[in-house]
Amino acid sequence: MKKKIVFSGMRPTGALHLGNYVGALRNWVRLQDTHHCFFGIVPWHALSSEYLNPKVIKDYTFEVALDWLAAGLDPQKSVLLIQSEVKEHAELHLLLSMITPLPWLERVPTFKEQQQELQDRDLNTYGFLGYPMLQTADIILYKAEVVPVGEDQAFHIELAREVVRRFNRFYGEVFPEPQILLTEVPKLAGTDGRKMSKSYGNAIYLKDTPETIKKKISPMVTDTRRKRRTDPGEPDDCPVFTLHKAFVPEAKRQELAAGCRTASIGCLECKKVVIEALINDFETFRQKRHYFNKHPDEVWTIFDEGSARAREVARQTMEEVRRVLGLDFPTGRR
pLDDT per position as a tens digit, 162-199: 999 999 999 999 999 999 998 876 789 999 999 999 88
Query: With 80 as the cut, is the pLDDT of residue 112 above it?
Result: no
Query: With 60 as the cut, is the pLDDT of residue 13 above it?
Result: yes
Predicted pLDDT of residue 116: 62
Query: With 90 as the cut, is the pLDDT of residue 77 above it?
Result: yes
Predicted pLDDT of residue 153: 84
**Binning pLDDT at 50, 70 and 90, where does residue 325 land?**
very high
191-223 tens-digit pLDDT: 999 999 988 999 999 999 999 999 999 999 999
If you count them, how many residues does the chain have? 334
Considering only CA atoms, which of 198, 44, 57 is closest in space to residue 128?
Answer: 44
DSSP 136-150: HHHHHTTT-SEEEE-
Q: In the beta sheet, which residues pair with residue 9?
A: 40
**Binning pLDDT at 50, 70 and 90, where does residue 49 land?**
confident
264-278 tens-digit pLDDT: 999 999 999 999 999
For residues 180 and 201, give the distance between their C-alpha atoms in angstroms, rounded to a whole number. 30
What's the average model confidence in pLDDT over 101-115? 80
Q: How many CA atoms lie within 13 A of 23 on its CB side?
A: 21
Considering only CA atoms, which of 56, 20, 35 is closest in space to residue 153?
Answer: 20
**Binning pLDDT at 50, 70 and 90, where does residue 120 land?**
low
For residues 18 and 10, give the distance between their C-alpha atoms in angstroms, rounded to a whole number. 14
**Binning pLDDT at 50, 70 and 90, where does residue 319 land?**
very high
For residues 26 and 1, give the distance between their C-alpha atoms in angstroms, rounded to a whole number. 24
Predicted pLDDT of residue 202: 97
Sign, Cα dihedral of 207, 208, 210, 216:
negative
% of the chain at pLDDT higher than 90: 83
Predicted pLDDT of residue 332: 61
Q: Specify whether the CB–CB gap between 19 and 197 falls below 8 A.
A: yes
Integer-rounded Cα radius of gyration of the chain:
22
> What does pLDDT average to over the chain?
94
E-assigned strands of the chain? 5-10, 36-41, 78-82, 146-149, 179-182
Q: Specify whether the CB–CB gap between 5 and 144 falls below 8 A.
A: yes
What's the average model confidence in pLDDT over 135-146? 98
Predicted pLDDT of residue 50: 87
Long-range CB contact pairs, 260-268, < 8 A, 24+? 260/223, 260/226, 260/232, 260/233, 260/234, 260/235, 261/232, 261/233, 261/234, 261/235, 262/232, 263/226, 263/229, 263/230, 263/231, 263/232, 263/233, 266/229, 267/222, 267/223, 267/226, 267/233, 267/240, 268/218
142-153 exposure pattern, b = at least 16 Cβ within 10 A, e = fewer:
bbbbbbbbbeeb
The number of helices, as runs of H, and strands, as runs of E, in the chain is 16, 5
Q: What is the 3-state secondary structure (H, E, C) of 9-54?
A: EECCCCCCEHHHHHHHHHHHHHHCCCCEEEEEECHHHHHHHHCCCC
Query: With 70 as the cut, is the pLDDT of residue 98 above it?
Result: yes
What domains, with CATH codes, occur in the chain?
5-187+296-324 (3.40.50.620), 210-281 (1.10.240.10)
3-state percent helix, strand, coil for the chain, nearest multiple of 5: 55, 10, 35
Q: Sort residue 263 into left (φ over 0), alpha (ψ -120 to 50) or beta.
A: left
Predicted pLDDT of residue 115: 59
**Binning pLDDT at 50, 70 and 90, where does residue 150 land?**
confident
The alpha carbon of 67 is separated from its chain's Cα centroid by a whole number of angstroms, namely 12
Query: With 70 as the cut, is the pLDDT of residue 160 above it?
Result: yes
Q: Sort residue 201 into left (φ over 0), alpha (ψ -120 to 50) or beta.
A: left
Predicted pLDDT of residue 261: 96
% of the chain at pLDDT higher than 70: 96
